[in-house]
Structures are given as C-alpha cells and as structure tokens.
Amino acid sequence: MRLTRTFIDQFPAAQRHYQAYLPFMPAALEALDMSDYDLIISSEAGPAKWVIPAPGAVHICYCHSPMRYIWDQRRIYFEKLPRIARPFAHMLAHDMRKSDTLSSARVTQFVANSSFVQQRINQYYRRDAIVIHPPIDLEDFSVGVPEDFYLCAGEIRDYKRLDLAVEACKKLGRRLVIAGAGDTRSLRDYKYSGITFAGRLGRVELLDLMKRCRALIFPGVEDFGIIPVEVMASGRPVIAYGYGGAMDSVEPGRSGILFYQQTVDHLVDAILEFERSEGQLSSKNCQLSAGRFSRDNFEQKMSGLINSYFS
C-alpha cells in the first residue's frame, strides 16, 4: 500500500494541529493526483471528498457527517473562540460552505452512516445517499452480570448533554459511572456522591464496564454513535434521546428506551420506564439488535455497492 500525504504534512506541527490549516485543505486535497484511479472511496466528516476524480472515475463518499463546524454546529464551535476571532471564523466558514457544496458534485454516490446523516446530506448538498451503518466486531463483546449502576461513555463534550444524565441520576438517587476523557468540571459541580468519574479507560476496562452496567444513558445527539451498539452487543440496554443516530440503533421495547424531549424530567421518566420493563430488555434481545451492525453485513453492502458500478 502506498501512502501519499498532502502538502499540509510539511507545515509545522501539522500532525498535532492540523485543524489550524483548515483554510489550506481544499487546495491540498485538490492537488492530489487521482488520474490513475478508477475508484475513489473517501471516508469523511471533513473535506476528504474535495479530491478531483479523473473523468469516468467512480467516487464513493462514506460520509459520517457534513462538516459540523461549518454547517449545523458552527455556533457551538465558534462560541469557544475568543470574541475577536468569531467574525473571521464566520467569514472562513462562509467560504468553506461554498467549497464544500461544490465538492459534493464530484461524488458519484454518497453513503451515509445513519438516516440522520442521510437527511443532512440531502439538506446541505441536495444529494441522495444510501445508508450503510458502521460495523463492530461482535466477537469482541461478551455478556456479564449487570450491577446497580448506569453508564455514560465516550469523549466528554458539551453537546453530549451528560449534564442531563448527572441531574437525572442525582434526582433519582442512582449510581452513575462516566467513562471518558474531557472537561468534567461542570459535571463535578453537581457534587453528587453517586457519580464516579472513571476517566479515559483502556479497551478491556471499558468493555468490562459495558457488560456490567445496568444500562447505558445516551442523552446527546450523535451522527450515528457506536457506543450504544457496543453496549447492546455486551447484552445491556440503552436509554437514549430519540433523535439522531440512536433512532437507527436502539429498538424501543427490545434493546432500550427512547425519550423525545432533551430535558431532565423526560430522562427521569425514561429511566423509570426502563426500570419497570427491565426484564423485557433481555441480553439476548440486545445482542440480536446489535447483530444488525456486524462487519459481515457492512462488507456485503459496501461490496455490493462497489460492484454495481463495475459489473
């Protein structure tokens, strides 16, 4: 396999601070020579689709999300910038949206990782996409004995709304384990002794928590969200906000509970509903639900799509 890097790789600290070179990315990707390739597969939540295919080449873009920081979540990202920098960020985002929309016309077929992303591809690019969900390796997961704690897992970010999980568990007096790296200061301000901050864990430790938790609480909006699928593969249910990628993965009454308003009270009601119906959400049903996201299924669907252009 030959690895080719863009000219951004030559810039100072490009490996660690590549985000700082975002304005150069359109030109850097367009400079890559694609003339020898009949098939291009880009995988992106950023600008990878900006490459220029040769005439007649097939470009399949597996899109995890249109770029959040220039489209629907731009204000969340820009609020973290110094106030003086925000007007410049908005001007840059304006130009990048035009480039991003233009680059979408170079794609032969969009593949979305969820129905939620499919809708956003249509909204921002006016392109149809087919949905092929990301895979997990089912053999990595095993069923354990559930214990009396709820779990939140993944990188800790404001948009994931872990504050709702903390407030709901504090209100109900339930134990909560939060696993993941990030800024936990605002969550610690709740001063609730029933919360354990496990920090960043190794893979083995995280898998152990997944199979021992009572259920995963997933109160944010994700483009897809692989953690709920992994928890279900561990035989445990998911309590999730009924919007975004969770709508594709969590099957209400079989592998979890969905709540449809992003508030503490609605999450509290969902937790109580889960506890009333906990016996119906069996480990077997959770694993069967996760089985839809096997690597075999993913490879068959992607291979079928690719072959359709060359058969």
pLDDT (tens digit, 9 = 90+) per residue, 160-190? 999 999 999 999 999 999 999 988 888 888 8
pLDDT (tens digit, 9 = 90+) per residue, 75-107? 777 777 788 877 777 787 788 888 889 999 999
Angle at 51 between CA 39 and CA 126, to 5 degrees: 90
Q: What is the pLDDT of residue 207?
A: 97
Q: What is the pLDDT of residue 93?
A: 76
Q: What is the pLDDT of residue 4?
A: 86
What letter represents residue 23's amino acid?
P
Q: Where are the domains of the chain?
A: 7-135+298-310, 138-293
Distance CA(172)–CA(258), nearest Å, equals 18
**Could you name the CATH architecture of 138-293?**
3-Layer(aba) Sandwich (3.40)
Strands 150-153 and 215-218: parallel
Q: Report residue 114: phi and psi, to 5°.
A: -160, 165
Q: What is the pTM of this model?
A: 0.90
DSSP bridge pairs for 46: none
Angle at 267 between CA 263 and CA 268, to 5 degrees: 115
Strands 58-63 and 256-259: unpaired
Which of 213, 258, 256 lies closest to 238, judged by CA?
256
Q: What is the pLDDT of residue 159?
A: 87
Q: What is the pLDDT of residue 252?
A: 95
Distance CA(2)–CA(261), nearest Å, equals 48
Q: What is the pLDDT of residue 293?
A: 97
Which segments in the chain show pLDDT lower than 70?
A: none
